[in-house]
Amino acid sequence: MKKDSMYFSHDSNARHDPNICEMRAEYGMEGYGLYWAIVEMLREQENYKLKLKRTNAIAMQTHCEKSKIKLFLKACINDYELFKSDGEWFWSISLLRRMKIKDAKSDKARKSAEARWGNNANAKQTQCDSNALKERKGKERKKSIQKKKTSIKIKKKKPVRKKYGEYKHVLLTPEQYDNLLKKCGKFKLNFMIKRLDEGIEMKGYSYKNHNLAIQNWEKRQTDIPNSEPTEYDFEDE
């Protein structure tokens, strides 16, 4: 049974059709009602046709005797030409014509809806794909940033250099000072710091690394006194 079986077109002046008028002249309004009940049953069928042997079903639904239904159908087919039959099936030419128009409209509307919803589905799919692509790129970008962060070597904090000498020009870290102290001794180290500090102050000596400057000086010079005259002995700052 078709889902839209509740509807079919029906002319408001069908009662004036000559064939129907002929049928009504013999069967009256009872025949008119019986006719439309059968047409409604035809409308409910997949192919809009009924088998002639289905007289029991028609009789049950119309509350008429089977014999009466057989006579009525025979008259509608042969005498009033309201139905057509091939000996096995019967149908209504008028109903088939009307349903052909309706089915064509329904099919057109269905195709239009499918095209519309199909386009919407494609648009939604495109949007989903776009969102998925954005999400994937966002994750990849986040991973890339995290990877770069982890790959960047953490720079060691440079040790703070203390200022040595009267003019505070000699810069050494505590570790560098301790190493030089062990290597050179206190007097010798203080002597070199004093000379380097005064040289920077008076002559503008420029060294990037005062630790290396003192070490190289200590290696090259042989006139650095090892004794501890008081004029060179001073406390480190």
- Which residues in the chain land under pLDDT 50? 1-3, 5, 230-237
> Are 194 and 234 in contact, with CB atoms under 8 Å apart?
yes
Structure tokens at 110: 């269905």
Give CATH for domain 14-97.
1.10.10
CA distance 200 to 222: 21
Q: What is the pLDDT of residue 16?
A: 85
- CA 113 to CA 217: how far, in whole Å? 94
Domain with CATH 1.10.10 in the chain: 14-97
pLDDT for 61 equals 93
Q: What's the confidence (pLDDT) of residue 232? A: 42
Instruction: Check if the beta carbon of residue 17 is closer than 8 Å to that of residue 111.
Output: no
Output the pLDDT for position 233. 45
pLDDT in tens, 158-184: 788 999 999 999 999 999 999 999 988
pLDDT of 213: 87
24 within 8 A of 82, measured Cβ to Cβ: no
Q: Parallel, antiparallel, or unpaired for β 50-51 and 170-172?
A: unpaired
Q: What is the pTM of this model?
A: 0.44
Residue 222 confidence (pLDDT): 67
Q: Specify the pLDDT at position 44.
A: 92
pLDDT at position 3, please?
Answer: 45
What distance in Å separates the CA atoms of residue 233 and residue 173, rounded to the nearest whole number?
Answer: 21
- Residue 89 DSSP SS3: strand
Q: According to the model, what pLDDT value does residue 226 have?
A: 66
